[in-house]
Chains A and B, each alone.
Chain A
């Protein structure tokens, strides 16, 4: 029997689900190998309420999100955090650094208390996560690697080295040498250093590598001219939930 796969989205831009649909060349093959039982963004039908694999996009940011993710976990064998919002909180965690009441008042004015919100959490802060696909958005290559590995029952090969490696392999001039800031040295690779390859800096969307030397990275950014507050802001764009942003 084909494995039952479901997609769920929480607080996010739904861009990672779009990245799944963007697997134009592989999509029809994939649909032959799995049974997609729930994918609200693309499907009306729900053919099963139990899932072999559930892809969870988005952060947990409301009380109802917490209840919903717990209930999905109960029905799911392998739960995959899908994209930066789910794996590391992503940009949703920016709001955590302001008093939530201020945030709600600023955006919704006098009706602020109608808008439920809790500090942004990544999925594994609420339920057990079995696998993670990093990135904002996820990369097609890694998404396929994880999906095929799950189908084959093998451990996916997810990089745990920094973006610098792929950036050098892409033969880019170092972003620091161009006078820009970069989080590449402490950020998990797997994106092919796409941002530096297109002339931009690494913004840390894939989260930190295991055992990053964040102190050295902070020193480096300061040495390049950022204030301590600005250095923190760099990390807090995507990695707001990590130790380094505290």
Chain B
């Protein structure tokens, strides 16, 4: 009976869209099986957190009011008066941080397994741009509660833009909507956060996912022999169900974090008060923030010293996008090793400076624990009996 109904539905759909072709595509789609197959779930996990952001963000929009007079009060209202408002906002905040974390993890594994090489250059480029969009989401969303930490982080963050040669001042004014961080900045950031960035992210995400589906998952060069011996994982239902299991687990983690550690609101921003003690941006910008502390005042060739690390970071971002064109040929092993070495050095620096910024070794423990966990899972997967 069910099969008969399915057949009717499929026929009805087939007359309008290529439903059978899509069904056959997913039925025959497979994912390579090897000891690093666990990495294939990281992109889906990032996507899941993005979906949580969209859902909770839409709910928060129903109460949030983007003005300097009302922003803080409206978030306070959400946290204290709206039923489950505290939960929705905390889930939004925790999920945002986990989205950044998994985006970094996903990007790192793709980088170190060289999955950006031909023919996947466009997948890499769209992924990198989406990663920058995720950071922009975090930066713009951070200001919206209009609390003092966010206010000063935004002052510093937007002032950094002024270090860009030639266009710096115009860029800073563009970001702030004026000379100062003010109500104009808040409404501008709100527009970016809820309309412009989601629109850009949706388009890029569609292209990224389409490319992943068309090209399939890449097998790292070191695991090709192993993958050829093992039976690939069927995408549907095996891989999809594992994805679903991971997402359910992630939802449980977010709910637990939101319940046990609701996101703080802090004090309302005051443009005429000193910066609060222990001011620092979100954890993923801390390494840059700490770097800026170490740079002394002064100029060289008309360029302020503080502009140098900022320019290096910007060039690094451009370099990251262009990685497939530097290391596109597997035969050039020295380039591949050099790039991996640079990647490891950047990660060590970022984690080290983050730990320094927090005056705590916890970031190092987190990364070491994570690398250890992935290594154990990879080892366990590699020693699984091959079917």
Decide if A and B are genuine partners.
no
Residues of A in contact with B (beta carbons under 8 Å apart): none
